[in-house]
Amino acid sequence: MKYLQFTLVFLFLLPGVMAHAQAKKNSGGGGGNGSSGYNTGIGLRGGGYSSGLTVKHFLGNKNGVAIEALVTTEYKARGVRFTLLGEKHKALADIKGLQFYYGAGFHAGSYQGRYYFADERYYYKGRKGDVYLVRGGAYLRDEESYVAFGADLILGLEYKLQDLPFVLGVDYKPYFDVFNGYTGFYNDAAISLRFTF
């Protein structure tokens, strides 16, 4: 099964890789927008809380502004989250293709089921009549559907491979979430790989 998946991904990416190499050869350079080295990147993002599809597109100007869209699933939840981020990119040091970026955005999604810790307390009497509090508990799962929305920040570092149409990135994306009357602040970090064109 793994070989089949690898083959399908390879066959899907091969025409794009060939077209990118030909365009680079014809133009005599790396192309791309400003210092990013590419205009659009599509790939996968794997993280702590959420993993899924990432699409980043640089706007037509040369100031390193990009829009990133994420379609992800939550860890241990069935559902989907859509995130839209505005990002500002800046070249780092003298390493061609290395960029630092930061930005903000928002998300919305829907989930069915969640894990939570149920705290159970009970008392018992000891031999001498003393009363002891015993805490027990278990992780439980409910099957309710939840609509979630909130705000996101992002801070990242990415490197555009010089001879290949790929960009490798790492990011930290804290977010504030509201769902079913509850609010929470979460820390998410991820690694992403995008095919660029």
The residues facing 124 across adjacent strands are 132
The answer to whether residue 109 scores a pLDDT higher than 70 is yes
pLDDT tops 80 at residue 57: yes
Q: Is the pLDDT of residue 55 over 90?
A: yes
Q: Tell me which of 17-31, 77-91, 123-137, 145-159 is least confident.
A: 17-31
Share of the chain above pLDDT 70, in %: 64
Average pLDDT over residues 39-67: 91
Widest pairwise Cα distance in the chain: 90
Give the mean pLDDT of the chain.
77
What mean pLDDT is predicted for residues 3-32?
44
Which backbone phi and psi does 111 adopt, to 5 degrees? -135, 150
Alpha-helix runs per DSSP H in the chain: 2-27
Question: Which contiguous run of DSSP H or E holds residue 179?
Answer: strand 175-179
Helix (H, G, I), strand (E, B) or coil at 30: coil
Q: Give the span between the Cα atoms of 161 and 27, in whole angstroms.
A: 18
193 — pLDDT class (breaks 50, 70, 90): very high
Core vs surface per residue 17-29: b (16+ CB within 10 A) or e: eeebeeeeeeeee
Distance CA 105, CA 127 (A): 59
Is pLDDT larger for residue 86 or for residue 49? 86
Q: How confident is the model at residue 131 (pLDDT cuts 50, 70, 90)?
A: low
Q: Which two tokens stand for residue 92?
A: 């780092």
Q: If you search the block for the tokens 């990009």, which residue do you land on? A: 66
pLDDT band at 114 (very low <50, low <70, confident <90, very high): low
